[in-house]
Structure 1
């Protein structure tokens, strides 16, 4: 009985490690940069929301500028360093949402 429990625990640990490694490989295969369409898909925000509430707000723009490329005109392509942008979104998601709500309240 004890041997069966040990095998189950070992199998569970192996499964966890395999799944972790699969995720690592997926991350390694992704391009270094993330573009606006993918950012929209990941966050669920619209292009206008991202531009208005992140890129055009000095507070957030200053945080992403070091790892971002902005187009010369509004129709150009935005590029962001994938890992740094994902870390930024993870850290500031709620604050971005909150500041966006506050901005809407001011104008209504």
Structure 2
């Protein structure tokens, strides 16, 4: 196992995780609870896990039963994931002027 590293999520928060590699498979281990993620998307998955299960309190984040709750900026709706809240805000509250979603790349585009 390689020594613990700092990862950075899309939100800019730094997270701690351990990384290991066996048989060409990348894996990441959550430093908070030890949950292990494998495969090509392990880093993205461990960062999303840390954001949702081990949140850092912020203005739109509260914890209920130890899980993140993202509150809508215009109504009383709550979401467990930040991306779900953002999708709701884009569709239901255009007055919030959230930036449009980034288009996804097709697998054949490199």
Give the shorter-chain TM-score range. Answer: under 0.3
Structure number with higher helix proportion: 1
Structure showing greater relative contact order (alpha-carbon pairs closer than 8 Å, 6 or more residues apart): 1
Which structure: larger Rg? 1
Greater percentage in strand: 2
